[in-house]
Structure 1
Amino acid sequence: MPMSNILNVSDLHKSYRSGENRLTILDNINFSVPARSTFAIVGPSGSGKTTLLGLCAGLDVPDSGTVELCGTSLSSLNEDGRAKLRSQKVGFIFQNFQLLPTLTALENVSVPLELQGDKSARNTAMDLLDKVGLGERLRHYPSQLSGGEQQRVALARAFANRPEVLFADEPTGNLDAETGDRVTELLFNLNQEAGTTLIIVSHDMDLANKCDRQLRLKGGRVLEPNTASL
């Protein structure tokens, strides 16, 4: 793509009201993410990682500061506009999988594409599920799959709409070490094949160290600014 950075964050602030006070969650956050790179946002629980991811993806709006995603300033869009941008250019992977329990593995991957009018949705879903090793589990429901298998379905779903950027929030947080390693390998392999920008939120430094660059947060502030510009 023509732009050098797929994500630019400038002077970002976010706070929430707590009783009569306001609690600062993020304070003066600045960083950029080059297109097609892998980037980790790391820090202890309560450091503001997930809040930052939500702001970067347009799931929430900051008190002040700007986020430019895929060449578009999110502040220039209303809620519907941000949702449209996400549906066209963004993929998500969550710690809790977030599969629809009444849909099979195949349907969980294909239905979002079908809702966008993609006539090849079923074939795309079958191909991706085969790539994550679930070609024989297409008609199984989430309750019939292990946690690792559910996250592999979520991986297939995330890449199905060919996103320009994929946000992964603690993608191995609910998995044991061996299963997490398998999911991590698949995530990075699919990402490399697709040429997607991968932005991971994690407290797992082994996972973070697999990324090209890192941003470290503590108490809502960037702990080591230089790690975000290497």
Structure 2
Amino acid sequence: MAKILNVQQLEKSYSSGSKRLKVLQDISFDIEERESFAIVGPSGSGKTTLLGLCAGLDQADSGRIELCGTDLSDLNEDERAVLRNRRVGFVFQDFQLLPTLTALENVAVPLELQGAKDAIKTGKELLEKVGLKDRMDHYPSQLSGGEQQRVALARAFSTKPSILFADEPTGNLDAVTGEKVVKLLFELNKEAGTTLVIVTHDLELAQKTQRILRLKGGRIISKETSAS
């Protein structure tokens, strides 16, 4: 199986007043196509920063990231955005739906940006798949947290991404709703054959993936194969 993400000796610091705060140190790992992978660690361990770097949302101070066969350091900001639009999907803790668009319009937007002719048809099919057939014309403010995250899942899979990054996908949901969203996430992922990378502090969720990378204080403390 080919590697879809290859990270080598990644370092990242931020300025904090007059000091440089090292957020990630000597991070190296790779992920294969169609693999499910979790990055876990306590708050402040650097996991969301790592996700942002891997997805090309931010740039490392040093090291190398190859995403979908492309070295991100060879790309400028616009080129990284094009790669993300074509190959990468996102699910965030706070849903990040556009408040002025209906559920259906939120799902159709990424497809329309790609010039797809059947954006609305695909959006309807996906919303039906996530159990929101009767909520398509509702705005985010009219939906519960669980429903909003299901819209976000449908949107993330709408463009058939090669790799999907999920940042604390159940962080804003109660336990029962979170479980339903996770089940849906893995079902959609399996069906689409997408590589799934989940950033979470929830070990139960992490153990549903094939491999787990543990971070602490910006360093890798272990790489494990999950029991699932």
Measured against aligned partners, the alpha-carbon deviations of 1:129-176 in whole angstroms (never above 9, x if no partner) come to 000000111100001000000000000000000000000000000000
Q: Given the alignment of the two structures, is residue 227 of structure 1 paired with residue 217 of structure 2, yes or no?
A: no
Task: Note the C-alpha offset of 1:14.
Answer: 0.1
Alpha-carbon distance in structure 1 between the residues aligned to 2:111 and 2:96? 16
Tell me which amino acid in the other structure corresponds to 2:135: R
Q: What amino acid is the match of 2:185?
A: L
Q: How does 1:103-142 map to 2 (within 5 A)?
A: 103-142=101-140
The one-letter code of the counterpart of 1:219 is G
TM-score, structure 2 normalization: 0.98
CA separation in 2, counterparts of 1:127 and 1:104? 15
Match of 1:77 among 70, 75, 81: 75
Q: Would the alpha carbon gap of residues 173 and 229 (structure 1) be closer, same or farther in structure 2, given more than 3 Å must change?
A: closer
* Residue of 64, 85, 89 corresponding to 1:87: 85
1:203 is matched by which residue type in structure 2?
A: H
Flag structure 2 segments of 5+ consecutive residues without an equivalent.
none
- Superposed, which structure 2 residues align to 1:71-220 within 5 Å? 71-220=69-218
2:46 aligned partner: 48
> Percent identity, aligned pairs only?
68
2:18 corresponding residue in structure 1: 20
Gaps of 5+ in 1: none
Q: How many residues align?
A: 227
CA contact (8 A) 2:210 2:226 kept: no
Give SS of 1:133's match: coil
The CA deviation at 1:227 is: 2.1
Deviation at 1:21? Answer: 1.2
Distance across 1 between alignment mates of 2:127 and 2:226: 35
Given that residues 56 and 67 in structure 1 are in contact (C-alpha distance below 8 angstroms), is that contact kept between their aligned partners in structure 2? yes
- Deviation per CA, 1:32-76, whole angstroms, max 9, x where unpaired? 001100000000000000000000000000000000000000000
Do the aligned partners of 2:208 and 2:226 also contact (CA within 8 Å) in 1?
no
TM-score, with normalisation over the residues of structure 1? 0.97
